[in-house]
Structure 1
């Protein structure tokens, strides 16, 4: 978000996704056609909108339709299509005046939503309309919250922190028999929903870790709302110091590249987090303790990982499977035939793997001479 000499009054570039600003920016308005806007954006030109705000949203929708679809294509082709679509649509820009004021006709008040994400504003800026709509939507979810039946309460996600809208993985943690109520680690806590469920079930001490400060801020706010002030948060690369008799982790499920910070909750290139968790787990799991690894088999259904590879990873890390709890998804995309991944989602199963450190077999005593 460094100041840039954009051709729109010297406005600085605002982004949360590390996207580079377009080299060329032209001014467009209500008279610009969707075909012309799409042609310019596809060629790399930024489009600074100066017109009616609802018309800007309509133009964004029209440009999206011109991006086409990748339905029926292999998963990687779909991901490449999504990335190209995001780049093109991200070039439709709107201005923000100091204080995050949107100076467009019939424009909404975005000041609070933008301040939550971008911080204070003292200079004019340009921001992708697509990103701005995401910022506003995230603010609305933060205010409204997501109902979590296992808690009998709501979790309030922040922008850039994955929302627990897929409740099946929460249900797995809520129903699996606890091996202990003494201490648990929640690795990669995000909104803190799983740590909160453990506390709600009576676990006396829960240490929730994440390597994203905004996730930890979100978790702390949720713990305070729920009255779980005793839950601990720690910025860490996976594990806190020490060992626990229960370790819970819901890592990204798909071994593919993430295009945005939010996607890092879903996509993990090479399953790096998964393998790091498994490799280091034996050093942080108390003797006789249990680790709950929550994974969907969507990666297997898409041909990105096999069940044999997952089991081999357990074996290499000195782990064995004590049990497994399965659940089918209930979210709308699982039954939406228009979803590009519908065939796989219709068969998807989410599992909670109960892992323990493998017991070493006692060596036989040497035969007497």
Structure 2
């Protein structure tokens, strides 16, 4: 961690932490309820961070006011889907940088010493671990930590399990149930008794396989947070004796009758570890799954690739490239099951990526060794 410094009656400092990879603020000024949104926005755009010392809810109002000013420059659809995507990501990065300049200070016990501030200590312990002294974070990040605590407490209902999955901070939540439904209804290979779930995240697909009667499931993930989350969920659901969580390697040791992989759908560079559930630089996880599959399947086994075609519709990958990668890995396509998304963004015509999202198809590719 790095250190930020500011003047507040005297010179002060605190450690700087950013889960989203925001750079260390080089200039920090103290701000409170007297700070006008126009001034805050100008300072943030110039690179000055604002350490908030006023009322907690006034800070949230200021953040919303700054966001409205940023929204006036939001891009529309560009000439091509790929250009629209690049502009969209550039705008999102700019928005994160500007809003990330409004900071709060977490005290040694993870408390927030602001008027009307909620108790955030438990949420911060779950996200960051035990406190190691005062730390400055962006208010946007803290709001994400608080929201993650609520997600973790309440869970996400998964129809295929008729149960709730409880995502941890920094682990992609299974809010899009259509891809889970594909794994729940695809025909299992004959005689399947062992399966791998690669990139398990919350453990939702491993739990679905266990619910379907697979007796041994190994769930892997590169992220320690995801592995802890997956184990928490499979244990809650009563599958602790069926599912084993491993990592950080993509493939565990041995072979399986079924290997399931739902890699991040967008082959673009993640801005931080929080993006790893969505972005897969160069399609690295996709190709790792395909290239290793033939050597990890039991005779007669299958690999299930769960993948959206959103990258194809955004011009980031072609269908021909995907088919070539499957063939180059020594695999054949047994079947493909398709589904359409049901999330709200499909209907949001103000989204610059609306055309691609509205046409998106998510597929489960059943792959086998010839």
TM-score w.r.t. length of structure 2: 0.94
- 2:55 equivalent to 1:52: yes
Q: How far apart are residue 14 of structure 1 and its match?
A: 2.5
Tell me how far apart the structure 2 counterparts of residues 356 and 236 of structure 1 sit (CA, whole Å): 25
Corresponding residue of 2:366: 354
**Contact (CA 8 Å) 2:262, 2:305: kept in 1 or not?**
yes
Are 2:284 and 1:290 aligned? no
Q: Which residue of 2 aligns with 1:198?
A: 209
The answer as to 2:101 corresponding to 1:91 is yes
Instruction: Could you tell me which runs of 5 or more consecutive residues in structure 2 were left unpaired when the two chains were aligned.
Output: 79-83
Once residues 147 and 215 of structure 1 are traced to their aligned partners in structure 2, the CA distance between those partners, rounded to angstroms, is 18
The more displaced of 34-43 and 140-149 is 34-43
Partner of 1:363: none
Q: Is 2:146 the counterpart of 1:141?
A: no
- The aligned residue for residue 330 of structure 2 is 318
Q: Which of 49, 71, 74 is matched with 1:69 structurally?
A: 74
- Structure 1: segments with no counterpart, 5+ residues: 360-369
Task: Give the match for residue 216 of structure 1.
Answer: 227
Greater displacement, 63-72 / 249-258? 63-72
Larger-gyration structure (1/2): 1
CA distance in 2 between partners of 1:200 and 1:241 (Å): 23
User: Does the C-alpha gap of structure 1 residues 7 and 254 become closer, same or farther in structure 2, counting only changes over 3 Å?
Assistant: farther
Shift of 1:339: 2.2
Q: Distance in 2 between matches of 1:52 and 1:333?
A: 33
| 1:184 maps to which of 195, 199, 202 | 195
Deviation, structure 1 residue 122: 4.7
Per-residue CA deviations over 1:311-367 (Å, capped at 9, x if unaligned) read 01111111110000000111111112222311111111100000011x2xxxxxxxx
Which is further off, 9-18 or 131-140?
9-18
Find the partner of 1:306 among 318, 322, 330: 318
TM-score after normalising by structure 1: 0.94
Q: Distance in 1 between matches of 2:174 and 2:268?
A: 21
Deviation at 1:55, TM superposition (A): 1.1
8 Å CA contact 1:7, 1:24 repeated in 2: no
Report the aligned-residue RMSD: 1.3
CA contact (8 A) 1:34 1:62 kept: yes
Deviations 1:104-135 (A, max 9, x none): 11111101000111122252221100000000
Structure 2 Cα separation of the partners of residues 203 and 143 of structure 1: 28
Q: Distance in 1 between matches of 2:228 and 2:132?
A: 24
CA distance in structure 2 between the aligned counterparts of 1:44 and 1:286, rounded to whole angstroms: 56
Q: Deviations over 1:189-213 (max 9, x none)?
A: 0000000000001000000001111
After TM superposition, give the deviation of residue 18 of structure 1 in Å: 3.3
Mapped to 2, the partners of 1:2 and 1:120 lie a distance apart of: 18
Query: Structure 1 residues 6-15 or 197-206, which shifts more?
Result: 6-15
